[in-house]
Amino acid sequence: MNLSSAAILAGVAMDAWLLALVAIRGRRVWLQATYAACSLAYIALGASFVGANEGVLSPLRDDVALGIVLVAHALTAILVLGLLHGETLPRQRPWAFLLLIPVPLLAFLAPIEGWTAAAAYEGNAVGGFLVICLGIALGETIYAGYSSRLLAGPSVWLTLGVVALIVAGPVYAYELEFLREPSLAGANLASPIALACFALVALQADPFPISSRSSTAGTKSRVLPEQDAIVFEEVRPNYALRTADEASAAGRSTLIVGRNSASKFAGGAGFAAVLPSRHAALRALTTASEFLTASPGGLVVVEDVADLSTLSEWPATAEAVVRLRHVARRTHSTVIFSTSRLTNGERQAVRDLRLTWWALPDPPREIEAILAQSFGDGAARLLASFGRARGIRREDLTTDQVPALLDFLTRALAELSGVVAGTAAHGLRTQLDAAANSLQSFAALTAEEVARGEWPSRASPEDHPELLVTAAEYWKGKEMEELFTAADELILEEEK
Amino acid sequence: MDAHLRTFVIRSAFLFLISLVLVAGFWYHREFYQIGFTNLLIIGGVVTFLVIWAARLALSGELPRGRPRGELTFSMEEADRLLKSVARLVVRPSEGTTIPGVGHVVRARYDTGPEFGRLLIEDAHRAFLSDLTEADARQAGYRSADELRETGAARWRWRPADVVTVLRVRSVGGSR
């Protein structure tokens, strides 16, 4: 076996291994199929060259070999475009697939024009087509690296792969021709290098695994208005997760992209856990793109934009936000971004994108404000008692806990039945009923309604004069103090 | 043998091997280069430049991760905990702090200025200061979350509602 055969054979083995790796590890069917077709083309050319060179196989017909060379180059360009543009390629750049159209025509004309795979890079229509394919791949990667912070890293590897193909393709063919050495008949020595680079990029941008993907069809629900992207400005992503839950319950395909909320989120939505990676923003983008392409009209909630920024830095994350909006628009879907834990600068950068912006309240603060309307300054104490009884920190309170809070307050009031009676007990119950109504009304509000409406914490004291008079003057604090004491005693009872 | 001398010998041997490969390559392609001195100069020059450039990056330890980006400053106690691998987490305020992404290397300096090492950022996330757990604090080299918060409050005037960036780091060598 001569040196060329050995090198090409080693390359074929490497190509096959890379193909298996991408097939096993990848999560993008379309991209995997393109990668497989491209790899198989290079493997066929390499195996054919080695087989013919070593006398093991009969040489391929010239038009067939040339056809495979043409397919390999066209698929290289399509694969590179797919790696840069992901699953949105079929919708976004259908012209990429036009590259396959000349292949049968050129293969048909090959015997007539005397074109062969061995002289594929000569100055004729075939050579021109091959150079155009490699040129498109190289030009697109260089442009992506120049214009995109998100794709800057992958574009380096893609450029390296395409340049390797060019050096070992037309450049090496020219050198062999000059040296009057036999050509490689379309086989490319650098195919393992190029395919390794493409595989690396494919795996770097692989979507995050999704757990418990919703099987329901992507139907529109009235949980959200028709918007491609909505920013939820909130301290913690409470309303973002709640909206995902409501949308999922309403039958809409929903995906949450976050780091740690799988445990606290019990809805029917899918959950994609963000893994620590430099390419987290890119992977979040491909995850959402894949999901929305498969489930048009769906909903994606990116609850940890801040963590994406920490993992991939803000410029890449901001670009992912913009690209996600475009994906959502093309798939008639909605994507929600939570501003929780973003820095002021990052929050302003998101605001500058002019997306639909919903400022949302912090539930613990609003719950306390509602309680304060009935119980005055003791609201914080009641809330603290409830938190201790349930083992919930104040900042972790959500509207989901409103029924439990009302139950807790009712029980505390019942404890007072032996102490407070008559008008005082009736008044206290009236206060509790008023608080319960307000809490239930507030808890029933959707994110959109809360964003539009007046928050309890913003309401001025003059809005509830009758309650304040009752709490502060009529009861003079005596029964209130007993209620607070009863609430504290409830904790002791539950601990027992 | 002194570590510096050993490193110098290994690097020199590696460079010498690369030089041999380059010369062998030019000899192998000698007929191709008969196309002219200018072509030899341009093609050979570019190839030699790229090979030496890549070798320089590899020898400096900057491949595959690249040069350090940014820096983090530490008190003597914090630096000691990191160097002894007692601490793996670094907690910094998110606001007003520029930290490179995961997979990058940062220079680690004493707050008095000198660099004492380089740290690879393996993971990062943001959290409210009030959400930091006892386990977080212990991995950051503190006895408790309260101690971590108090130290941060003294240094950065932290409040419980502030957002902090929690980095999991690994030392990747000393200062150069």
- Is B64 a member of any domain? no
Q: Mean of the pLDDT values across residues A176-191? A: 81
Q: Are residues B32 and B96 in the same domain?
A: no
Q: Are residues B78 and B120 in the same domain?
A: yes
- Is B121 a member of any domain? yes
Q: Is B94 left (phi over 0), alpha (psi -120 to 50) or beta?
A: alpha
User: What are the two backbone dihedrals, phi and then psi, of residue A224, each rounded to the nearest 5 degrees?
Assistant: -130, 150
- Is B34 a member of any domain? yes
Bridge partners of B93, per DSSP, are B164
Q: Are residues A268 and A200 in the same domain?
A: no
- Which ipTM value was assigned to this complex? 0.79
Pair of tokens at residue A378: 């003791």
Q: Whole domain around residue B117: which residue ranges?
A: 71-171
pLDDT at A202 (0 to 100):
94
Domain count, chain A: 3
Where b means 16+ CB within 10 Å and e means fewer, A29-62 reads eebbebbbbbbbbbbbbbbbbbbbbeeeeeebeb
Determine the Cα–Cα distance for residues B72 and B95; give it in Å rounded to an integer. Answer: 14
Determine the Cα–Cα distance for residues A130 and A138; give it in Å rounded to an integer. Answer: 12
A161, A188, A204 - which closes a domain? A204
CB–CB contact B102 A306 (8 Å): no
Q: Are residues A148 and A77 in the same domain?
A: yes
pLDDT(A208) > 90:
yes
Each residue of A426-463: pLDDT tens digit? Answer: 777 787 888 888 888 888 888 888 888 777 777 655 55
Which of A268, A245, A482, A241 minimizes the C-alpha distance to A363? A241
- Is B159 a member of any domain? yes
Determine the Cα–Cα distance for residues A43 and A38; give it in Å rounded to an integer. Answer: 9
For chain A, give the mean pLDDT. Answer: 83
Q: Which of B33, B46, B102 best probes binding to A when mutated, by most A CB atoms within 10 angstroms? A: B102
pLDDT at A492 (0 to 100):
58
CATH number, domain at A301? 3.40.50.300
CB–CB contact A310 B122 (8 Å): no
Chain A residues in contact with B163 by the CB 8 A cut-off are 306, 341, 343
pLDDT at A249 (0 to 100):
87
CB–CB contact B124 A311 (8 Å): yes
Q: What is the DSSP string of A123-148?
A: SSHHHHHHHHHHHHHHHHHHHHHHH-
Query: Which contiguous run of DSSP H or E holds residue B169?
Result: strand B163-171
- Is B65 a member of any domain? no
Q: Are residues B28 and B104 in the same domain?
A: no
CATH number, domain at B96? 3.10.400.10
Q: Mean of the pLDDT values across residues A173-194? A: 82
Q: Among partner residues B96, B124, B131, which is closest to A310 by beta-carbon distance? A: B124
Q: Are residues B54 and B75 in the same domain?
A: no
Q: Are residues B38 and B111 in the same domain?
A: no
pLDDT(B69) > 60:
yes
Report long-range pairs for A385-388 (Cβ below 8 Å, ≥24 apart).
A385/A412, A385/A484, A385/A487, A385/A488, A385/A490, A385/A491, A386/A487, A388/A491
Q: Mean of the pLDDT values across residues A198-202? A: 95
Q: Are residues B165 and B90 in the same domain?
A: yes
Pairing of strands A270-273, A210-211: antiparallel
Residue A229, helix vs strand vs coil: strand
Does residue A3 belong to the interface with chain B, where contact is any CB pair within 8 Å? no
Q: Are residues A286 and A343 in the same domain?
A: yes
Q: Are residues B55 and B76 in the same domain?
A: no
More confident residue, A452 or A469: A452
CA distance A471 to chain B (A): 30
pLDDT at B62 (0 to 100):
57
Q: Are residues B81 and B54 in the same domain?
A: no
Q: Are residues A125 and A7 in the same domain?
A: yes
Q: Are residues A190 and A238 in the same domain?
A: no
A188, A204, A220 - which closes a domain? A204
Size of interface A-B (CB pairs under 8 A): 58
The edge-to-edge listing of strands for the beta sheet with A270-273 is A210-211, A270-273, A254-258, A299-302, A334-338, A229-233, A356-359
User: What are the two backbone dihedrals, phi and then psi, of residue A153, each rounded to the nearest 5 degrees?
Assistant: -65, -55
Helix axes A152-166, A125-147, angle to 10 degrees: 160
Residue with tokens 């490179």: B100
Q: Are residues B158 and B86 in the same domain?
A: yes
More confident residue, B34 or A113: A113
Q: Are residues B82 and B55 in the same domain?
A: no
Pairing of strands B71-74, A254-258: unpaired
- Is B80 a member of any domain? yes
Each residue of A127-177: pLDDT tens digit? Answer: 889 999 999 999 999 999 889 989 988 998 999 999 999 988 888 888 787
pLDDT(B56) > 70:
yes
Q: How confident is the model at residue A211 (pLDDT cuts 50, 70, 90)?
A: confident
pLDDT at B27 (0 to 100):
79
CA distance A175 to chain B (A): 7
pLDDT at A470 (0 to 100):
47
Each residue of A300-347: pLDDT tens digit? Answer: 999 999 999 999 999 999 999 999 999 999 889 999 999 999 999 999
Cα nearest neighbour of B130 on chain A: A395
Each residue of A48-71: pLDDT tens digit? Answer: 888 888 888 887 788 888 889 999
pLDDT at A419 (0 to 100):
61
pLDDT at A395 (0 to 100):
81
SS (H, E, C) A3-51: HHHHHHHHHHHHHHHHHHHHHHHCCCHHHHHHHHHHHHHHHHHHHHHHH
Each residue of B130-170: pLDDT tens digit? Answer: 888 899 999 998 889 888 888 888 888 888 788 999 999 98
Q: Are residues B31 and B77 in the same domain?
A: no
Q: Are residues A71 and A157 in the same domain?
A: yes
pLDDT at B99 (0 to 100):
87
More confident residue, A212 or A231: A231
CB–CB contact A395 B130 (8 Å): yes
CB-based contact A414:A454 (threshold 8 Å): no
Q: Are residues A294 and A373 in the same domain?
A: no
Domain count, chain B: 2
Q: Any residues with CB less than 8 A from the CB of B161 and at least 6 apart, and which? A: B128, B129, B130
A313, A343, A359 - which closes a domain? A359
Q: Are residues A165 and A254 in the same domain?
A: no
User: What are the two backbone dihedrals, phi and then psi, of residue B170, each rounded to the nearest 5 degrees?
Assistant: -140, 135
Q: Which of B65, B125, B163 best probes binding to A when mutated, by most A CB atoms within 10 angstroms? A: B125
Q: Mean of the pLDDT values across residues A272-301? A: 91
Q: Which of A311, A314, A317 best probes binding to B when mutated, by most B CB atoms within 10 angstroms? A: A311
Each residue of A350-400: pLDDT tens digit? Answer: 999 999 999 998 888 888 888 888 777 777 888 888 888 888 888 888 888
CA distance A235 to chain B (A): 10
Give just the sign of the alpha carbon dihedral A67, A72, A75, A76.
negative
Q: Are residues A158 and A34 in the same domain?
A: yes
Q: Are residues A247 and A344 in the same domain?
A: yes
Does residue A428 belong to the interface with chain B, where contact is any CB pair within 8 Å? no
Which of A13, A33, A12 minimizes the C-alpha distance to A22? A33
Q: Among partner residues A278, A343, A393, which is closest to B94 by beta-carbon distance? A: A343
Q: Whole domain around residue A487: which residue ranges?
A: 363-495
Helix axes A62-85, A29-53, angle to 10 degrees: 150
- Is B66 a member of any domain? no
Q: Among partner residues A178, A311, A393, which is closest to B101 by beta-carbon distance? A: A311
Q: Are residues A470 and A338 in the same domain?
A: no
Determine the Cα–Cα distance for residues A371 and A432; give it in Å rounded to an integer. Answer: 9
For the ranges A34-38, A379-383, A411-415, A430-434, the maximum mean pLDDT occurs at: A34-38
Q: Are residues B44 and B91 in the same domain?
A: no
CB–CB contact A393 B130 (8 Å): yes
